[in-house]
Chain A
Amino acid sequence: MAPPRRHRVVAALAAALLSTAALAACGSPGSDPGSAKATGTQDAVDAALQAGGTITYWTWTPSAKAQVEAFEKEYPKVKVNLVNAGTGNDQYTKLQNAVKAGSGGPDVAQIEYQALPQFALTGALADLNQYGFGAFQKDYTASTWSSVNVGNGLYGLPQDSGPMALFYNKADFDKYGIAVPKTWDEYVDAAKKLHAADPTKFITSDTGDAGFTTSMIWQAGGHPFGTDGRNVKINLNDPGAQKWTKVWDQLVQGKLLSTVKGWSDDWYRALGDGTIATLVTGAWMPGVFKSSVTAGSGKWAVAPMPTYDGQPVSAENGGSAQSVLKQSQHPELAAAFVRWLNHGNGVKPFIASGGFPSTTADLNSPSFLDAADPYFGGQKVNQVLTAASGAVAKGWSYLPYQLYANSIYVDTVGKSYLNGTAIGDGLKAWQSALVDYGNQQGFTASAG
């Protein structure tokens, strides 16, 4: 190749490089979310609903199909494209890519409470205060309402909630004469007693799960994550965390937990045949039991979550809101749909399909509370679950980058589970990785 031509190639490469650099440089997300509290009225939303149009809705909730059908029947001018873009992280990856690309995302998306701060802070979500939705505060449970408020912004309306309770296999408990534990110490005793009576049976299964860990710390009164603007404080060794690890270390190190991975085929089977005797999890679990653990019908019952001192206290586990994307071309219509879903006629089909709502009126309605559930041997389980939703410990917040935190949980706390070492050591490693990440991403993160 002749020298001049090579020069030309180099020049072309350099030009290409510069243009990509320029592209990369302008792709920074909105960096100042929710600085001013914008409150508006619902007029624009009502008008958009009357005018009609087409919106796209990403969700994985099984209730969505019935809800969208009911909505379109009520508002024939509005067409909702229902898309299942994957469950949880799968959907978030796509959503994140769409946000990064500036287009291609839906108008409305389901986002779990733990993921909401991340999307809110990166400027992906519209502040619903501008449509006057802030007035709905009184209609929701305190914990779900605080989950959709980040900084001064309201970034979604709560759909379901997951106040935690103890689901236990009554057949197992009766067979081995084990009393339903009220405290965590009793829970550990029950674990020992059950496993001694039948070595194939375990009190529960846990191979390390970030969502469970944070919920357990939440219930123990911990506040490991604090965010104030750009400042992030992380303390995964606070008294709450210590309280929980003291109990859970006994179970992990005593090999009293089943190592069946949650949500695997085997896990469903183990829930059905009594090898996993309890689950400490969110109030949305009955729906899962009924659809996926048919063999357990009539065996299971629900009790309040065990506590450290016997006084009722719970935490949230899971649960999602519906949010309007900032890149939506029809934000008012999208907001109208969200309002209908979670603060209107959408709640009924949601409950009918087994969902656990976050609207207090529905939670406390006699028809909801007094429904005897045949799966749970006729127990009025909603009484236990609604009571749990009122007992959720206050003041919790997730990290603004909780999704990332959860993704590296296996590298840190997972090792404690794997090696049977103190969970607290894993939590410390998690904390230091999270502090580093926060500082790399523009926060001022610190331990303690």
Chain B
Amino acid sequence: MDFMVFQYPMISVQACLDGILLGILFALIAYGMALQWGVMNIINIAQGDLVILGGYIAYFMYLYGIHPAWGVIVSPIIMFFVGIAIYKLVINKVVDRDLFISILATFGISILFMQLMNFAFGADVVLANSDYGTTMLFNSNVVLPNSKIFSAFISILFAICLVIYMKKSKLGRAIRATAQNARAAKILGVDTEKVYAATFGINAALCGVAGALISITFTIHPYMGLPYTIRSFMIVIIAGLGNLPGVAMSGMGLGVFEEFADYILGTEFRIGSVFLLLVLILVYRRFKLSRKREYLK
């Protein structure tokens, strides 16, 4: 336990800003999860591993001398096709089955990806250096790497583009119709199979963007996927499906929580505190819902 963060206000400011910038990235991943959950009713445990895979694409560009920021464009394109391949091979067989089956199947995909990435890229913690420098604020008491600001900006840009695309385009309308009522959409001539594939592809592409940004700002490692899945799941259940401002807000909240947990409890408890928070939130939600049920009685 270390309460330095409360004794020196500047550290709190640092933690808050770091957390918000981090949280915007989480919100982007959570948006993808909310999309596929809402449309296909699938909880994808492999979400985090898709993020890490996207990160490795950017990292490889960096290794071959291309600036990793271009990964933001390349990685979603590759990940889109990876997502469609996963959908065609596995997900389309579990879409209308029991939810637990889809959780277990995606858990299998997650283990598979983890290990394949471990083989292909090695078990080292890597990061793609972007050379963006840092920004000093408040008399250089608060230090913000420019890469974090860049990644937050790009995430917001992608989120806005996606929202507009969902509202305006034909595919976006088809996706929203399928989310509302898959059977009715099918009757009215929407090719739901295609819509599902596209949804999963878009989700994977979002993960690709987020992964590329994470490889620039933080570090990536083949086994770091599951925490990202849990974070995005948590953000979605706090915000609710189809509530975009909520997703953004709870993403930032989670980011700030994590930074403070990091300062107060120490870095070794950071992931543990995220998982504990998940359990606490689910338990809180359960008591809230049960109270509602009693009220109805």
A binds B: no
> Using a CB–CB distance below 8 Å, which chain A residues touch chain B?
none
